[in-house]
Structure 1
């Protein structure tokens, strides 16, 4: 890889700036739809124990795959993407990298060793690593037409990718914990039903706003990671479209 290729890599902030208000609105609407589907699914009478955890894992994988399938189409207008036959692969890989639900399943199935400090020191980095790889899975499958191997190549391809994607994992966990604490405090304070609904809605909107922003940042980080991993050698190798913006400026018009 030459220095020229490195310096020519797309800047991830540029991918945020070029998205018009209508694009953000579409992504936010997609996030709201995903949140409502998950909210409805939480009301289902799921069995308790490992069976319930498996159902939650499957629901999360399918809903998450649906979100990313549509979001990446919005972010790549006019660009050929993986076909519908790869949707099941995306859903399965999202389940396999869903560290939180996998841990909950293991806890309910009572297959983990005694939960000591040593166990926590091993489990926590593994969970973070799974979440890190999991964030790259949608682009690896839907945009690159690959699978888990492609996601691992992207994850290990550059320190730049680690430094830009790993913070999104950590910030996402902080946002999720904050929303959960907001909801728990509201329940502990004993608000009325309408007040609790307002608090729940605010927490959900905060989560959706972060989810939307992180989607765009991950997509931009993926484009830069691909540029570093497989630098384009000819104009025809460059991306055919920019997010919501028609043809990319680095593509020679024909």
Structure 2
């Protein structure tokens, strides 16, 4: 169990990351690789609305599996009955996905400027509600609880901001490189691109979810304890 108090020298984010056993890192990588494969399959041959809904389902399921891996056996596991609520929130907070879903309607177009604005707002929402999956599945409490925990102290704000922003930048760079390599690939030869996509998603997903869970533990440890 990660322990932290808001005093100099108390265990921090890096201590929590290092405390995760190597075997659990392997499981995290496997979960996110499978989730990435399922998400890519969802977006093939589906309408934008269906892809949004099914993608949210995959993301919610991945979070449940992650918390089952990271949660100590002596503590209450994530509640599967809260998965529908998490799925709904993940769909509602996916602004680019919602804009794409509008394109399923006849006569509806989405401008490049609107998509760029939605991406920026989406980045802010990723940060603001970063701890929402953990709070919902472990506590069943409101999104405002996730926002308050995130801003508990500098030690909770900095790692979450870093992992969200760096993850977003890495995703944009990777998509550009992947697109460029696809243009040069021979017809039907996309195995290297698919492998690279799954590896990238696995590493990024494992680091992101582990960081968010560790941050949640730090934030809850810093809460005032009842006398």
Q: TM-score, normalised by structure 2?
A: 0.83
| Counterparts of 1:10 and 1:105, CA distance in 2 | 44
Match status 1:90 vs 2:90: no
Residue aligning to 2:162 = 167
The one-character-per-residue Cα deviations of 1:211-249 (angstroms, maximum 9, x if unpaired) are 111111111111112233x23357xxxxxxxxxxxxxxx
Distance 2:22 2:155 in 1: 29
- Mapped pair 1:231 → 2:224: yes
Aligned residues: 220
Report what 2:203 is aligned to.
209
Partner of residue 184, structure 1:
179
Unaligned runs of 5+ in 1: 47-51, 235-254
- Determine the C-alpha separation between the residues in 1 that align with 2:93 and 2:163: 15
Structure 2 stretches of 5 or more lacking a match?
none
Paired position in structure 1 for 2:67? 72
Q: Distance in 1 between matches of 2:32 and 2:118?
A: 30
The question of whether the paired residues in 2 share the 8 Å contact of 1:31 and 1:208 is answered with yes
| Secondary structure class of the residue paired with 1:93 | helix
How far the C-alpha of 1:13 sits from its partner, in A, is: 0.9
The equivalent of 1:42 in structure 2 is 43
- Structure 1 stretch 145-154 or stretch 208-217: which is displaced more? 145-154
TM-score by length of 1: 0.75
Change (3 A) 1:153 1:172: same
Aligned equivalent of 1:239:
none
Asked if 2 retains the 8 angstrom alpha-carbon contact of 1:99 and 1:131, the reply is no
How many angstroms does 1:64 deviate by?
Answer: 0.6
Give the direction of change, closer, same or farther, for the CA distance of 1:106–1:126 in structure 2 (3 Å limit).
farther
Describe the superposition over 1:99-121 as per-residue Cα deviations: whole angstroms up to 9, x where unpaired. Answer: 33134335666487x776xx789
| Shift in CA distance, 123/57, structure 1 to aligned 2, threshold 3 Å | closer
Residue 18 (structure 2) pairs with residue 6 (structure 1): no
Question: What is the aligned partner in structure 2 of residue 247 from structure 1?
Answer: none
Distance 1:103 1:160 in 2: 34
Report the equivalent of 1:100: 96
Find the structure with the greater CA-based Rg. Answer: 1
SS at 1:135's partner residue? coil
2:132 to 137, 158, 180: 137
The SS at the match of 1:193 is coil
